[in-house]
Chain A
């Protein structure tokens, strides 16, 4: 299977307040298959967001390489970096909508800045996207006037405008109620089926998020474990994985019993 993202021996350390070095990624290697959904899970401070930032080139690795469609993003600069980044769509933890722009302007921004499309074409595209994400009628509102779930949908609509081949989701359901969470998951499944992008989801929402996963990566103390399915995680004999399973999934978990 072709891979969309490849981590090769990536090392990332941070200096703690007392000057000691803490290694967040300790020479990890893994692949994220194209067109599939990979969930990255792990406790707080285990480097989930760091992993996303490395993929996006927002942070530099201390050693190792990160390949995006076989191109090394750790070496990319300037225009090369811009070109690589146009392949990504990102839904940030706090949606990261521009609070001085309306919903319409937020979704239109990538089209206005990155394409040569006319205002009329942009209007059609943005209105179509807003309708698709059930946001029609909210065009003139500002992000602060929207609920958390609506902000996520605007963020998703904006991220999808340039037809990315890889979508990255940073804690997409944090702060949402269970109903909204389920709605967002349905939206993911639907949009991925429609557009066929590679999807990488960083999430705390275990075990529900595993419904979406084709592959699960668990981060723990700078090491990474890759699993093909939620069941595989339970079969693992590593003590820290067993501990993780017990804490997050309960003693018995079978994905086919969970409501889809």
Chain B
């Protein structure tokens, strides 16, 4: 009877709905942890350091190379229309509204998200989370809430760093290498970037931060309950891969949705 495709489909449907429900409750509990006493400030600072400061180098390099490629590519395209004066506005708008938030979130998912997922997964399979529960210490307040808050603080700041470094990279490539006028680059940027564009970028970075930390910590926390994950060390490695892929895809999907709604 288990070969019946309708039953399989039904089981999969039930699994997905249950999983989404558990993840929703997981997020609510993570936010409830903010109001539980005592709040662990030190852990929050440690996590901001891990997600934020720890990701600075990778963000810096990604932003610089992205900005420089945009500078070259933009110059090549705009030059065809004799509009290379628009390079500053093209580079800065692309970075602030799209590439800054998206690439920052993808980098954080790969670097910090994977680490958070693996950490929670290992804590789960070695019964450390059960041990916290048994000592009546709320695991959310203890170490999941600080991760949520740290991501919501760090990712928007990293996005800002990404934007600035990327725009500087575009300047180096466009002005330094291709000979665009520095005044035109800066002027183009100042005249075309509006508050609304920056707000869109900030909203995106908050939403992406939430998606990444939610999916990565949630997958690790529920490592034992994920279908097809297997057991032991293998389950943690599979679930970590799944978490990074799932959070990256959600970032891209939400990027489109947010752009469509807010632009």
Chain B residues with a Cβ closer than 8 Å to the other chain, count: 16
Tell me, yes or no, whether B191 is within 8 Å of chain A by CB.
Answer: no
- Chain A: minimal CB distance from B218 (Å): 18
Q: Are A82 and B130 in contact (CB under 8 A)?
A: no
**Residue in contact with B136 in the complex, picked from A92, A93, A99, A114, CB distance below 8 Å:** A114
Residues of chain B within 8 A (CB-CB) of A99 are 126, 128
Cα–Cα, bound, A15→B25 (Å): 23
Residues of chain B within 8 A (CB-CB) of A56 are 130, 133-134
Q: Are B127 and A110 in contact (CB under 8 A)?
A: no
Q: Are B136 and A96 in contact (CB under 8 A)?
A: no
Q: Are A90 and B137 in contact (CB under 8 A)?
A: no
Would you list which residues of chain B between 122 and 152 have a CB under 8 Å from chain A?
123, 126-128, 130-131, 133-138, 142
Tell me, yes or no, whether B194 is within 8 Å of chain A by CB.
Answer: no
- Quick one: which of B1, B2, B133, B136 has the most chain A CB within 10 A? B136
Residues of chain B within 8 A (CB-CB) of A58 are 130, 133-134
Tell me, yes or no, whether A7 is within 8 Å of chain B by CB.
Answer: no
Residues of chain B within 8 A (CB-CB) of A94 are 126-127
Tell me, yes or no, whether A241 is within 8 Å of chain B by CB.
Answer: no
Q: Are B135 and A114 in contact (CB under 8 A)?
A: yes
Tell me, yes or no, whether A85 is within 8 Å of chain B by CB.
Answer: yes
- Chain A: minimal CB distance from B207 (Å): 30
Residues of chain A within 8 A (CB-CB) of B136 are 81-83, 85-86, 114
**Residue in contact with B135 in the complex, picked from A19, A83, A93, A162, CB distance below 8 Å:** A162
Q: Are A96 and B128 in contact (CB under 8 A)?
A: yes
Residues of chain A within 8 A (CB-CB) of B142 are 113
Known contacts A56-B133, A92-B130, A96-B128; 12 additional CB pairs below 8 A are A19-B11, A56-B130, A58-B130, A81-B136, A82-B136, A85-B133, A85-B136, A92-B127, A99-B128, A109-B135, A110-B135, A113-B137
| B141 and chain A: residue at smallest CB distance | A113
Residues of chain A within 8 A (CB-CB) of B2 are 18-19
- Quick one: which of B1, B130, B133, B134 has the most chain A CB within 10 A? B134
Cα–Cα, bound, A90→B133 (Å): 11
Residues of chain A within 8 A (CB-CB) of B126 are 94, 96, 99
| A98 and chain B: residue at smallest CB distance | B128
- Chain B: minimal CB distance from A153 (Å): 15
Tell me, yes or no, whether A104 is within 8 Å of chain B by CB.
Answer: no
Tell me, yes or no, whether A88 is within 8 Å of chain B by CB.
Answer: yes
Would you list which residues of chain B between 197 and 232 have a CB under 8 Å from chain A?
none
Residues of chain A within 8 A (CB-CB) of B134 are 56, 58, 85, 88, 90
| B133 and chain A: residue at smallest CB distance | A58
Cα–Cα, bound, A88→B130 (Å): 13
Interface residues as binary, A89-106 with B (CB distance below 8 Å gives 1, 0 otherwise): 010111011110000000
Cα–Cα, bound, A83→B136 (Å): 7
Residues of chain B within 8 A (CB-CB) of A18 are 2
Residues of chain B within 8 A (CB-CB) of A88 are 134
